[in-house]
Amino acid sequence: MLWKDDKYEGGFNYFTLNFFLADSTVEVKELRFQNSGKDPFPLLLKKQKLARKPIQTYYPGMSEVPEQYYRPEDFQIGEHISVYGRNCLIYSCDDFTKSWYQNNLGIEVQPISVEEGQKKAIKH
């Protein structure tokens, strides 16, 4: 999964999305690259249900509209998902996920190539 941070020193941030079929929860982990210059931040999202559009309220449990959560059908290659305001692109998956989508949903999965943007030239 890829999130393009548009801030000054943001850049491209790569994550691994783990979906647990047993209880429909999601976990999002950061991929660490050595000497990237970024502080390690292991989890973007701990294991929990991921709402499509989170409802922000002062009184939890008092919202009138029930939240809708992501399901396995929503995680398609080339689609964007929202992780609490971060618009993330799903560009690839592992071999087990490919075979699961083929066997259970009848969806053929092909990874897409992701091109990185131009590096910012910093003048000293």
For the record, the structure tokens of 20 come out as: 């647990």
- The answer as to CATH 2.30.29.170 being correct for domain 2-33+41-50+68-105 is yes
Q: What is the pLDDT of residues 87-123, one digit of tens each?
A: 999 999 999 999 999 999 998 888 888 776 555 666 7
For a pLDDT cut of 70, what percent of the chain falls above it?
90
- Position of tokens 């079929």? 21
Give the H/E segment covering residue 99: helix 95-100
> Which pLDDT does position 71 carry in this prediction?
92
For the chain, the structural domain boundaries read 2-33+41-50+68-105
> Which pLDDT does position 118 carry in this prediction?
56
Give the H/E segment covering residue 5: strand 2-5
Q: Name residue 25's beta-bridge partners.
A: 20
- pLDDT, average across residues 43-70: 82
Residue 82: strand, helix, or coil: strand
CB 89 within 8 A of CB 114: yes
What are the backbone dihedrals phi and psi of residue 96, each rounded to the nearest 5 degrees, phi first?
-65, -45
Environment class of residue 88 by beta-carbon count within 10 Å: exposed (0-12), middle (13-18) or buried (19+)? buried
